[in-house]
Structures are given as structure tokens and as C-alpha cells.
Structure 1
Amino acid sequence: MRPVHTYFVATTVVGLAVLVYWLVQTNHSIRTDSMTPITTQPHHYNAESHHPTDGPLTPATVVVVGAGLAGLVASIEAYRAGAIVTLLEKERNVGGNSAKATSGMNSVHSEAQAARGILDSYDAFEHDTVRSGKGLSDPLLVKILTSDAPDALKFIESFGLKLDSISQCGGHSFPRTHREGPRPDGKPAPVGWDIIKALKDYIANSVPSASAAGADKPSITIVTNAKMLDLIVTSDTDSKEVQGVKYSQKTPEGAEEILEIRSDAVVLATGGFSADAKNEDSLLREFAGHLAHLPTTNGPWATGDGVKIARRLGAELVGLDQVQIHPTGFVDPKDPESAVKFLAPEALRGHGGILIHPLTGKRFVDELSTRAVVTAAIFSNCAEAKNHSLLVLNQEAVDRFDPATIGFYTARGFFQKYQGAEALATSKGFDVREFENTLASYEAALTAGRDAFGKHVFPVKFSVDDTLYVCTVTPSIHYTMGGLKINGAAEILDATPYSPSVYHPQQPRPIYGLFGAGEVTGGVHGGNRLAGNSLLECVVFGRIAGQRAASIKDRDVRGLNPNTYIPLRLRSSQQLGGHIRLFRFDLPSYNATSGMDVGQYVSVRAHINDQPVIRMYSPCNRPDERGALDLLIKVDPKGGVMSTFMNSLRPGSLEMEFQGPHGGIKGLDIENRSSPIKKIGLIAGGTGIAPMLQIIRSIFHHQRDDIEINLIYGAATPEELVFRERLDAAAKKHPNFKISYTVDSDPDAKWSGRVGFVDAALIQQGMFAPSDDIKIIICGPWNMCQAIKKTLPTLGYTNDMFYSFM
């Protein structure tokens, strides 16, 4: 017999994969397409044709709590996907802190960047976000945030806004924070306020309320002065399901009325807890008590309601001790001790503002460092000045930012205007020559390209004769990076993991029907948020949450079609070991299944260099699992055209198309206890483990302890046995499951197991003897499958006893 090589070949039929924890079960989470063209009509996938239709198959009722940007976006997207939406807001008006945003919204590869020749990239944006977050960010959420940024910007601009003014804010390696430019009529252009107004106007003018649309038609109804009190939940020992919201509302007579609304899904968009210092259940005092004495830029509504209520339900929390201090809250000369500060936006520094010591007139920091760095510099350098510093702009910086907005700030008393350096220094009481030296040193650093603080981006020039605009600023609590933990599908996760007897012990599970977007969630920003990422996060994850919540009732939808190629959105790509990666694709609906039976496969098509390329992959998903499909692919420098192309895709891509199911293993009916098959032998090479995992997990799921399973799992090297740990754990729990391993080579000499190819001796050692109740299944590289098919008859196995995917 010739040796059988287990090394993966990119063009072979390999398995449609499994998440890292996939051995026995997986959750139903998906993301729907946030790349869908913006339309005013809802659309949905039809179960039979898989073509968009004019309405949903089963309209979902969705409650969105919180009417800031994330809540408005989630409501609009849920409506467009065919849902009946109720938007609850505890304040009298919509907008929340989003309406106060002034720096802008980040994006890459925008028209505005292209017009200025800014050569930004996804990778640079991702790197800046992770670096700013001090390594505490969730890498998948950051990748989704940055990948979806161009589409999020187009989404906002589709409501009649033009965010074509760009600044380079602190921590960014390129100008990418988009806001409105100065208005022709000379009025201020506050970006957050204008975005909220545009979305609110769209709902008011283009979307019917439930009373106008009819009880079974897509709609959005906004209910203000409605404070969420609790979630309506059904639960058992294995799962929780959110079915609505309890809330309070004032009657016309002023009494408080307790109400509830039942729904299929709830989206929490209730914001953070930056103004929660005085409440008895204060999250700020509990997790960051050392900061609770500082002023805040947040409105009084930012009390963490959604976090507190979901926490009582058992939701997983992440990073609640990570609270961002914004270095520049305006100090109002009329009320300098006020606990609430109006924000002096980072874009003021992004357009050229500099920070100086209020007693000496000297600079002390790179103004375009991250917020954390600038804040620390103010605390360490300006303590004797009550942690106050001066923010100075010249006329060029004012013109670049927005003269109308500066006029608004000046009218409120925040800015004072001086003609020349001497006038400013005299007014503030520091040495004129020292301040003139400060400006001269700045000009010299601009010419040299770097200053003593490491600054290398100098938006404007300063001179001693400039017209100068000056305000006093101080660090203020601005944003809470921590909150409810979500996955890439905007599902809020349960702090209680799946049962160790069924799932990998460390794998969290989603709370069914509960989604989150915006500052109520954590994980995106890690230990520090970049300016412009807050509005972006609200749009990206608000769209995901709304779309996914709207599809929750489509339980019987088959996500694939055997006759039609359907594009599926790439949610994530994860390296498991060696060159093996896991690619997760979302089915069209939250609850859609693949429509496959155990042992079937799909064809996957991509257009590469204008040519269609098709490969076949075996599924790992159990037939009853919902929402997503995963591909397990080996990607190496010598990989094939399809694997190389797939590895180049970023989350959000719709370039992979799926068709299926196809084929099947004859006689493999795991649910049928009268089936004659009682022994299943599995021989997997490399990523050929994927369909074997589907079979193993299905047997465990249906509690078929009467079926014995023997697995031979081979790979090129030990590190490519990516599911060994989980398989070993399963074998300890299930006496009917036994495993043998082998590797082609052991380059690091750390492998204590068998080294060598799958041969007749290993098959005789690791497989069941030939019998009428056996089925042997083979998947892996073509050479391996062909050799084993020739070997098995020599060992007494008849053709009906084995099946090969190749």
C-alpha cells in the first residue's frame, strides 16, 4: 500500500467548519447584511426563492430601548427588514448623548479622503483602535467596526447629510474623522445634533407608526418619557429568552403608570453610566470610584439603566472599570465648579488647537495623543491650576473647524478672543516672552516635522501676531468603554456558559432575543476610545442589531437553495492553528438553518479575476443549528486561488456565494434508532475533520449512546490538530467515542504521539472490524482519500461499508 498523506490541499473537498468550540453544539447567532443598499421599503429573504420580497415572512415585533443614535439606527434597520418597532426613550426628547457629539464619525476609503489624497487603510484604522484600547479591545468587534465604516458613513449620508470635512484627531495615524463642513448660511453645524435630526425627520416623514400602518405592517412608534424597569424573560436551566419590556410612564395627571410591551426581540441602546456617580446602585462608584468626583460631559440620563437591568438577568459584563476621561471639558467662567461640563470637542485640536499651561503659557503635551495620554499630561502638569489648561486656536484653526460653532461657543462665554500673543499673555497673567517662545518653538517644530513631545502632525501655523481664541478646559468623565458583552452579531451574552457536559466550558451563550448596540455594550474600545469611534459604533452595531432582531421569527427559513447561489456575509475569520482558519458566514435570517442533512455538502463560488471559481465543502453545522455557516480552510503561502482569495476578505464582504445542499451519505440516519448502522468510523485528514465534527456532534445531540464512534484524526503537524483538546474532552465524557491521532511530521520535536501517514496498520488499530452495522467515512486530501479507498477492500471492507468525500 502506498503511504497516505494527510496534508491539506486547497482544492480538495474539505469540511464546512466549526467554531473553535464546535464539537458538540453551537449557538444560533448570525449577522444580517449591513451592506444592503439603502431603500425606504423593507425587504426579506423568501424561503422558497431566496429573492427579496416586499415584506417579511413572519413580521417580528421589536422593542428598542434608548433613542440615541444606536437606538434610532436599530429602529430604522429593523423597520426596513420588515419589523413592527416600538422605540422607548426615558427622556422627553430623542438624541441622548449622541446629539452632543461634535468631533465626527470615523471612516476609511471615503470620497472625502480620496478627494484629499489621504491614503488611509482598514489595517491602519484597526491598528489605531486596538492601540488606543491598550490591547483590551475585542479583536473581532474592532474588525467589524473598521470593516463596516465606509458603509456606515454612506448610511448616514443617505439621510441628506454630507460629512466631507475631515480632521485627524488624537491617536489616529491619518485624518479620518468626518463631520460637516461650515454651512453656507453661517449657522453652526454640530454633527451629532444634525445626524439625530436627520434620522428623527426620516422616521417622522417616511415611516408610518403602528396606528397608521396597521397592526401587521412594518412601522416605528416612538414612546417618550418611558423608563425601562425590567425585561420580560422566560428561562429554564439551559437558556433565557427575552420576550418584552416593563416600563413606567407618566399619565396626563402626573401619576406613574407601570406598563409592559411583549415582543419577539429587544435591542438595548440605553447608553453608558458616565453620569451615575450619585445613585445608590452607581456603577461608576462600584467600578471606578476613584473617578466619581470628576465632572462629566454627559447628560443626567447616562445612568447605565440597560447595563444594570441586563446584569440582573445574568448578562456578561466586560471592562466596566474602563472609564474614559476627556481632557477638554469647557470650564464655564460663570460656573467653574459645575459638575457637568460642555464638551470641547477633540476636533478643535484636530484642526490645530494647542494646549498651554494656564500659569506659564508653555505647551506640555502632543495635543493629538490619545485622550488618555493628554488627560494624564494635564493631571501631572496642571495640578496647581486645579487641573485646568488653556486651549488656544488661531484664526486658521477656527476657519478649518467651523467659525459658526466657535461663535456659538464664544456666545456662551467659553472662548475669549485676543489680538496677538501679547494681549493673551497679559490677560492671563503669564510672561509674554515665554508665550511668544512657545509659539516660536511650535513653528520651528512644524518646520522640523516633530517636536519635543513627539508631535508630528501640525494642522496650522502659529505666529505671535495671530488672532487667538482661548478657552479654559479640564478633564471630565466622558465615556464608559465597558458594558454588556456582545458577539459579532450584536447578541448580548449570558455570563453563564453552556453546560460543560454539552459545550466547551468557556464558551458564553447569547441571551435569546436580546441585542445591544452603542455605549451600553463593551469590548469595542477596550481601555480607551478614539474620537469618532462612538458615532461609528452606534451605526455599525445599531444596524446589525436592528436587522438581526427583525429576522428572529423566521424559524423555518432554509438559508440555502440547492439551485441558486446566494451571497452570505462574512462575519469573522479566526486563526485556529498553523495555517488553518475558521471563516464564519451569516445565513440570511437569525433563525435560518442550512437545510442540510448530516453528511451533505455545499458548493461555494467566488468571482476571482473576473472568473468564477467553485469549490465544494462539507458542512459541520448540525441540521437544526441556526443562523450561520463556518468554513474551515487551510491558508498558507502555497495555498490555492480560493483559499487565498477568501483569506483576503474582511468582515462584511458579500463576495462568497453558497449553493446547496448537495449529495449525502447513504444510510446515515442518526435520528432513526432503528437504523442498522451502530458503528461509525471516521478518518479525517487536516481540515477534513469538519464533516466528522458534524457527525459526532449530531450523535451526541440526539443522545445516541448506542452508536459507537472511532475517529482517526491526522494532520501535517501537531499544531494543525486544531480540535484535539475538544475531542479529548468529549472522549472523556462519552464512553462510546474513541480517538487515534497521527501527524506527518513533528518539526518542533514536541509531539509524543504517532508520526506517520494513515496506513493499513493504523486503520486496523483505530477502526472497527468489517461488519454489517458499520459505516466508515473518509474526508481529507485527494491522495489520502484515494489511497484509503484502495486499502479498505484489502482489509475486508466491502464498498457499502465506507463512503469518501473524494
Structure 2
Amino acid sequence: MSDPVVIIGTGLAGLATANQLVKTHNVPVVLIDKAASIGGNSIKASSGINGAHTTIQEAQNISDSPELFLNDTVKSAKGKGSEPLMDKLSKDSHLAIEWLQGEFDLKLDLLAQLGGHSVPRTHRSSGKLPPGFEIVSTLSKFLKEKAESQPDLVKIQLDSKVVSIDISGDHAVRGVQYEDKDGKMHSIDTSYVVFCSGGFGFSKEMLKRFAPELVNLPTTNGAQTTGDGQNMLERIGAQMIDMDQIQVHPTGLVDPADRAAGWKFLGAEALRGLGGILLNPSTGKRFVNELTTRDVVTAAIQSQCPKDDNRAYLVMGQGIYEVLKNNLDFYMFKKLIKKVTLEDAVKEYKLPISAADLAADLTAYSTDAKDAFERPLVTKNFGDDISASTEIFIGEVTPVVHFTMGGAKINTDSQVLNTEGKPLAGGLYAAGEVSGGVHGANRLGGSSLLECVVFGRTAANSIAAEFKK
């Protein structure tokens, strides 16, 4: 059998690449990950995956198109990034949803409208599993089974760190070296390597280098997210793009028992997308359109809310609990969210507003024909008769380092480019957060999982075309 394709990383980008190679093209793969388990940050994604002009949208009478999705993405990118990559992301988004539904029997039958989107296009499945966990566990299950039954076709090497890539004098990939958990070095002969190693949001060293103003913020990233792939690709001559563009997510959940913790659970954007609001602790009132882009919401918290602890309150009604029960049950189990009456919330969180006035504000939010902050979607998730005894779900949130938009620049075939904008080496590809150019200055919610599927599958198809030659 031919030398395998080496895939570095087992988040969704790596899993999508591997599944496309194995299921569709019968091409052998080796997945290598320095972590002890599969999934990366993808497994924690909690809002869903974007798709424009999908059958689910059509069934719910939602008019969307790749062009509208592209416009939203370009607007969010603020002049940075690569528009051809954004165009591909948008045009291939419905194909990504169809692939997950068709190949893996994932429902992805519910929709939410997240910040910066013109319409509801972020898909998740009805059921108990969060979208990232559901997608990752489903895609990894197939590969694990193949690794057991056909070890020549699929090999999964965990607790192993890639240390170098061999590139020949004629600029072609020749092999990979990695170190296992016992410190032993191994070599794999290969003509194809796909970097799917994630971002660098956990690395204080890289934050100091590219965005020193963010070093002291907490993060949602796992400890494995240290930019190994970016560093390696930069060393071998890749063009790095937008490395200083680092997304701060506005709603990291504050644990009252450990307020200073450097790592936070993420409050899913779907909580706001489905009607949750943000209150300023200084006034007890809303202060921003909660469905604008993440950078704008973050800036509003940092400029308008108390600067001593950089926080706001995330408030949701029973209607959200009925839709996102599993998310909220988990947050409440972790004591990050509480269910209380409006009256108790005012007392316990020392809000400078009466329960009656807060009830009036929530009523206005739920019923006014035009939102005070021009929020595009007003949802009656607080009920029809709001009073001091109405129960709400409330938790403290603070901005957190969440996603690194920059990385090694790729083209629409997922090839890694050199500083002249040409393919760096034959057989060298990247997909997911390790790459750069797809999101520009700000990533839209729901586009991280999508990026992984679109460009992971693209890398696989590009490699398969070379195999056939």
C-alpha cells in the first residue's frame, strides 16, 4: 500500500480530512496528536456549524444564500484575510452540512442566529449532545473502528508530538518525525502532510509576541493550543497572515468560587442567539446589541461595564432553557449559572434597579416592535407576563481569549503558501485554526467547525487527486 497521508491534529479539521480520505478515496492515513485524547478544541464547540442555503433552512422558510453569508463574513473580517477563502467557505457551507448529514447521519436540524449573521444559519442537532461533541465523537468513531479492523488504512497515534517535517531540495514533502510519550523518536515516510494542529490561544509566549495586550485575559483554550503548527510552518517558510488578529469572546463564564481562574468555560453564543441578553452591573440595564459581532460586544463590556473586574451579566428566560436544556443544566451543575426570580437576582447580584423596573425592561425587550439597540432578532424567551416573581437564568461573564484568526496562509486547495504566495512544498496542506486568511479580523460564530470541514475535505480531495495521478 502507498505511504500514508500524515495528519497532524485530531480536532475536527483532522477528522474531516481523514474521513474524506478514507471513506471517499480509500487513502491510508496516520493521525498524530500530542494530546492523550481525540477532539482538540472542536469537541467543546457549543453553538453549532454554519451552512447557507441548506435543506434545513428551506424547510423552515429561511431565505439564505452563499452570497449573503459571504457578505456577512467579509463585513466581519474588516478588510483582513483572504476573500477567495471566505468565498469558498460560504459556497461550500451547504455541502459541509450535507456531508455530515448524509455520511454520518447527523440531524443538524435546529437553527440559531448568532452575532454578525443576517439570518439563522448555525446548525445543531436536536438531542442531548452539544454540536462539537456530537460531530467529533461521530467522526472519530468511524476512524477508531477502521484503526481496529484495518490498521494499514488508519493509524491513530496519540501522546505524540511532531518535531520536524522533511522537505526535499525540490520542495516536496518526504517524511515526518515525531516523539512519543516515552521520548522515543519515530519517522514516517510520506509525500503528504496536513497540518490540523489548531491555534495558539493558550500560549502566553505567543500572545506576548502577537497581542501583548491580551496576555492577562483568561482563555477558553485547552492546554494543547500552543501554536506548535504555526511555529513549525513559519520556520520552514510559510507565509503567516493576520497573526495579531486574536478573537476575544465576550462571554466566558465566571466561576464565583474561583473568579481569578485563567481558564473559563465558554458561554455558548447560542445563548444570546436564541434571546439571551447582557446587563451592565453598574446600571442593571442592557447596553449593547448582543447579536453584533464578538469584537463589538467585547469592546462594549470593556468600555461600559465596571473596569475593576471586566464583567457583565448574561440573562436568559425559560424559553431558552427549553431549547438548550443540556447546556444550561451543565452550566448550573458547574454553578456558573443560577436559576432565580427577578427579585432574588436584584438582591443577590446587587443590581441598582428594582425588580419591577427590570421586569418592565424585559417586557419591552420581548414586545417592542423595534429593539432599542437594533438587535435583529427579538425573542420572547422570558414569557408573556413578566413580573418580579418571573424566573430567569443568570450568570457572570467576562471577555476571554477564544480563537486565533491568523496562521499559515493557504489557497482554495488548502495548500500552504510561501512568502511569495506560491505553494510552499508539494504535498503540504493545512486546515482549521492553524491556517490563516479565512476569517480576517473577526470570526463569525459557527464558522470554526465549518472551516474545519470545508478545508479539511478540500485538502483530502486535493491529495486524492494527486494520488490518482
Shorter-normalised TM range: over 0.9
Query: Match for residue 597 of structure 1?
Result: none
Alignment-derived partner of residue 196 in structure 2: 269
Q: Could you say which residue in structure 2 is the equivalent of 1:633? A: none
Superimposed CA distance per residue, residues 75-125 of structure 1 (whole angstroms, 9 cap, x where no aligned partner): 111223132110001111000000000010001222221222111121111
Q: Which residue number corresponds to residue 345 of structure 2?
A: 424
What is the deviation of 1:429? 1.2
Is the CA contact 1:332–1:413 (under 8 Å) kept in the aligned structure 2? yes
Shift of 1:360: 2.6
1:391 alignment partner, one of 299, 308, 314? 314
Q: Are 2:327 and 1:405 equivalent residues in the alignment?
A: yes
Quote the Cα distance in structure 2 between the aligned partners of 1:311 and 1:422: 55
- Give the letter aligned to residue 164 of structure 1: D
Asked if the contact 1:59/1:550 (under 8 Å) is kept, the reply is: no
Secondary structure class of the residue paired with 2:266: coil
Pairwise CA distance, 1:453: 2.0
Q: Is the 8 A contact 2:316 2:381 kept in 1?
A: no
Alpha-carbon distance in 2 for matches of 1:284, 1:377: 22
Q: Secondary structure at the match of 2:466?
A: coil
Closer, same or farther: CA 473–257 of 1 in aligned 2, 3 Å: same
The match for 1:164 among 109, 130, 140 is 109
Alignment check: 8 A CA contact 2:338 2:394 kept = yes
Task: Give the Cα separation in 2 of the matches to 1:407 and 1:176.
Answer: 25
Structure 2 matches for 1:13-92, cutoff 5 A?
59=2, 61-79=4-22, 80-92=24-36
Matched with 2:157 is 223
Which residue of the partner structure matches residue 508 of structure 1? 422
| Alpha-carbon displacement from aligned partner over 1:587-627 (angstroms, at most 9, x marks no partner) | xxxxxxxxxxxxxxxxxxxxxxxxxxxxxxxxxxxxxxxxx
From the superposition, tell whether residues 108 and 489 of structure 1 become closer, same or farther in structure 2 (CA, over 3 Å): same
Task: Report how far residue 422 of structure 1 moved.
Answer: 1.4
Q: Deviations over 1:19-40 (max 9, x none)?
A: xxxxxxxxxxxxxxxxxxxxxx
Which of 278, 299, 323 is 1:376 aligned to? 299
Structure-1 residue corresponding to 2:391: 467
Aligned to 1:241: 172
SS in 2 for 1:175: coil
Please give the secondary structure, in 2, of the residue aligned with 1:383. Answer: coil
Match of 2:337 in 1: 415
Query: Residues 168, 214 of structure 1: CA spacing in aligned structure 2 closer, same or farther, 3 A cutoff?
Result: closer
User: Match for residue 142 of structure 1?
Assistant: 86
Q: Deviations over 1:458-506 (max 9, x none)?
A: 12253234210111110000000000000000000011x3xxxxxxxxx
Q: How does 1:145-224 map to 2 (within 5 A)?
A: 145-157=89-101, 158-181=103-126, 183=127, 188-205=128-145, 207-208=146-147, 213=150, 219-224=153-158
Contact 2:282 2:306 in 1 (8 A): no
Matched-pair contact (CA < 8 Å) for 1:242–1:513: yes
Is 1:544 the equivalent of 2:468? Answer: no
Indicate yes or no: 2:43 matched with 1:121.
no
2: distance between equivalents of 1:271 and 1:455? Answer: 32
Which residue of the partner structure matches residue 415 of structure 2? 491
Cα contact 2:240–2:406 (8 A) shared by 1 = yes
Amino acid at match of 1:66: G
Residues 108 and 472 of structure 1: CA distance in aligned 2, closer, same or farther (over 3 Å): same
- State the shift of 1:442 in Å: 4.5
How far apart, CA to CA, are the structure 2 residues paired with 1:387 and 1:345? 19
**What is the letter of the counterpart of residue 449 of structure 2?**
L
Matches within 5 A, 1:523-542: 523-542=437-456
TM-score for both structures, normalised by structure 2: 0.95
- Quick one: distance in 1 between partners of 2:208 and 2:3? 39
**2:375 equivalent to 1:455:** yes
Of 520, 544, 551, the match for 2:434: 520
Check if 1:310 corresponds to 2:241. no
Higher strand residue share: 1
Secondary structure, counterpart of 1:87 in structure 2: strand
Q: Find the aligned partners of 1:148 and 1:428 in 2 and give their Cα distance.
A: 45
Matched length: 463
- 1:292, CA displacement in angstroms? 1.3
Instruction: State which of 255, 260, 263 in structure 2 corresponds to 1:340.
Output: 263
Report Cα offsets for 1:666-685 as digits up to 9, x if no partner.
xxxxxxxxxxxxxxxxxxxx
Counterpart contact for 1:449–1:457, Cα < 8 Å: no
**Residues 670-705 of structure 1 deviation map (CA, whole Å, 9 limit, x = unaligned):** xxxxxxxxxxxxxxxxxxxxxxxxxxxxxxxxxxxx
CA distance in 2, matches of 1:250, 1:455: 50
Is this contact kept in 2: 1:62–1:550, CA < 8 A?
no
Inter-partner Cα distance in structure 2 for 1:179 and 1:532: 10
Say if 1:70 and 1:538, in contact at 8 Å, map to a contact too: yes
The whole-number CA distance in structure 2 between the counterparts of 1:128 and 1:122 is: 10
Q: SS where residue 443 of structure 1 aligns? A: helix
Is the 2:3–2:189 Cα contact (8 Å) retained in structure 1?
no
Q: Could you report, residue by residue, the CA deviation over 1:705-731 in whole angstroms, capped at 9, with x for unpaired residues?
A: xxxxxxxxxxxxxxxxxxxxxxxxxxx
List per-residue Cα deviations over 1:175-232 (Å, max 9, x = no partner).
Answer: 0111122x3xxxx421101111101111123x356xx5475xxx11101001111111
SS at match of 1:474: strand
Moved more, 144-153 or 456-465: 456-465
SS at match of 2:34: coil
Partner of residue 166 from structure 2, selected from 232, 236, 247: 232
**What is the one-letter code of the residue matched to 1:269?**
C
Q: Based on CA coordinates, which of the two structures has the bigger radius of gyration?
A: 1
Q: Which amino acid aligns with 1:525?
A: H
The amino acid of 2:11's aligned partner reads: G
Give, in whole Å, the separation in 2 of the partners of 1:441 and 1:384: 24
Give, in whole Å, the separation in 2 of the partners of 1:372 and 1:458.
21
**Identity percentage of aligned residues:** 39
Secondary structure of 1:551's aligned partner = helix
1-structure distance, mates of 2:85, 2:321: 35
- Distance in 2 between the 1:332 and 1:148 partners? 39
Distance 1:415 1:285 in 2: 32
Amino acid at match of 2:78: K
Q: Is the 8 A contact 1:354 1:367 kept in 2?
A: yes
3-state SS, counterpart of residue 330 of structure 2:
helix
* Alignment check: 8 A CA contact 2:81 2:242 kept: no
1:532 to partner: Cα distance: 0.2
**Structure-1-length-normalised TM-score:** 0.56
Paired with 1:412 and 1:379, the residues of 2 have a C-alpha distance of 25
Stretches of structure 1 lacking an aligned partner (at least 5 in a row): 1-57, 498-506, 556-806
Partner secondary structure for residue 399 of structure 1: helix
Say yes or no: does 1:101 pair with 2:45.
yes
Q: Which runs of 5+ in 2 are unaligned?
A: none
Asked if structure 2 preserves the Cα contact closer than 8 Å seen for 1:60 and 1:82, the reply is no
Asked if structure 1 preserves the Cα contact closer than 8 Å seen for 2:331 and 2:337, the reply is: yes
Supply the distance in 2 between the matched residues of 1:361 and 1:445 (Cα, whole angstroms).
14
Give the superposition deviation at 1:156.
Answer: 1.5
Aligned to 1:668: none
CA contact (8 A) 1:329 1:343 kept: yes
Q: Is the 8 A contact 2:221 2:263 kept in 1?
A: yes
Q: Give secondary structure in 2 for the equivalent of 1:525.
A: coil
> Deviations for 1:632-667, whole angstroms, at most 9, x for unmatched residues?
xxxxxxxxxxxxxxxxxxxxxxxxxxxxxxxxxxxx
User: Distance in 2 between the 1:63 and 1:509 partners?
Assistant: 18
